[in-house]
Amino acid sequence: MSEQGHAEATAGPKDPGPFYHGTKANLQAGNLLVPGYASNFGGRKATNHIYFTPTLDAARWGAEVSAGEGFGRIYRVEPTGPFEDDPNLGDKKFPGNPARSYRTREPIRVLDEVRGWQAHSPEMRVFDTSFDYKTDKPAKTKPDADRDSPRLRSLHQLLWTKKLRSGVLFAPTPPPARRDGYLIFTDTSGARHWYGSDAITSSYTNWLRPRPLVDAIAALNEEQRARYLNPPYTIGSSMIWPVRSKDRPTINQARGLRSLIGDRMDLTLECIRRHYAGEPESPLTDVLNAYADFFALFDGFTEFVDFFHFQDLVTPDYDEVRFYLPFDNFKRAGTPATTEEYVTSREAMLDFIASRNRRIAKWLEDNGPDTEIGE
């Protein structure tokens, strides 16, 4: 910020900038942007504030999805008066404003235009409920959509950036280099928490044991094999889980490795319900306790379910989990033991995936007006 800007912006968050503003307006250095005009977004109502950010990525979105004709533009700007955390993306009751979005009632001055920035690809702004993320830039050897797909990571960031009931903004963001992690959430104390993407449903296509599961799959007819094996990987089957090297196995590893869970989300959710309720031990008690800080972000089981769109796996009162197969209180392996069980569980999984896709699409329609919804 210039010396003039420092002198004028005498209050607000202590962020030195530089600051950026994305728009489709053609502006010149020295121009002042003032509140009181139609908003760039939503219903185009007059706004009492001007918004800006120190992150180029946020400014890119502003430039691309703002109202108006022509190309998006990004300007380096400085506030001329006090500014505050944007309450839509942060909360001044919780210092840190992880999204680093600000607003002011005073003009902001255009310093210059940022040249050479790269727009998000069109597909990054489209949500297709049927899109198979396994097809998005797969690696030549051992492809893994959770690792490889930039579209999936971008969608995870969009879906899970929202304010919790506590007022804290949960805002997982990708680090500058992919080798440094998948998504990172910085909490109000400044501590960083790493998250990874993983599938929450399984067709067991490549499982070599247990033997009853392998035999059950082998007995499928051709029509069933085409329906159940190697399914597309849509967002309805994907989730982010916390990961850290000192707490192994991670939640996702334990879900897949522990036979009483058998990589089933319904059984995982029952363990999570018991964690919140303080009920007797489950096959994941130790792992969930190790990651208790993650679950403590949410105001109980109901908020966790609503936040990640798991409503179709619980009863309307959130008191019970709806299981893929009859539940025996973790007395047997979670994987199907007969072809009939396999078909029943896979149909339940496919119904859940379809319902969760619809819920996510509806949430994006209501909360992400810049995102095009496709099916």
Q: Could you read off the pLDDT of 162-216 as tens digits, one per residue?
A: 889 998 889 898 887 888 899 999 888 889 999 999 999 999 999 999 999 999 9
Helix (H) or strand (E) holding 353: helix 339-367
Report helix, strand or coil for 5.
helix
On the question of pLDDT at 275 being above 60, the answer is yes
So what's the pLDDT on residue 42?
Answer: 43
CA end-to-end span of the chain:
45
* Cβ proximity of 168 and 298 under 8 Å: no
What are the residues facing 238 on neighbouring strands?
199
Query: pLDDT value at position 87?
Result: 74
Assigned CATH class of 3-113: alpha beta
Model pTM score: 0.72
Helix/strand/coil for 10: coil
Helix/strand number for the chain, H first, E second: 12, 14
When mean pLDDT is compared across 99-113, 121-135, 162-176, 215-229, the lowest value belongs to 121-135
Out of 80-84, 289-293, 367-371, the most confident range is 289-293
Q: Parallel, antiparallel, or unpaired for β 84-85 and 102-104?
A: antiparallel
Is 59's pLDDT higher than 70? yes
What are 308-314's contacts with CB under 8 Å, separation 24+? 308/160, 308/239, 309/356, 309/359, 309/360, 309/363, 310/265, 310/269, 310/356, 311/359, 312/351, 312/352, 312/355, 312/356, 312/359, 313/265, 313/266, 313/269, 313/352, 314/269, 314/273
- Cα 175 to Cα 52, 188, 208, 224: the distances in Å are 21, 18, 36, 41
The neighbour count for residue 179, using CB atoms within 10 Å, is 6
Question: Is it the case that residue 90 has pLDDT exceeding 70?
Answer: no
Other Cβ atoms less than 10 A from the Cβ of 53: the count is 24
Mean pLDDT of the chain: 86
User: Distance between CA 317 and CA 320 in Å, rounded?
Assistant: 8
Residue ranges per structural domain of the chain: 3-113, 122-374
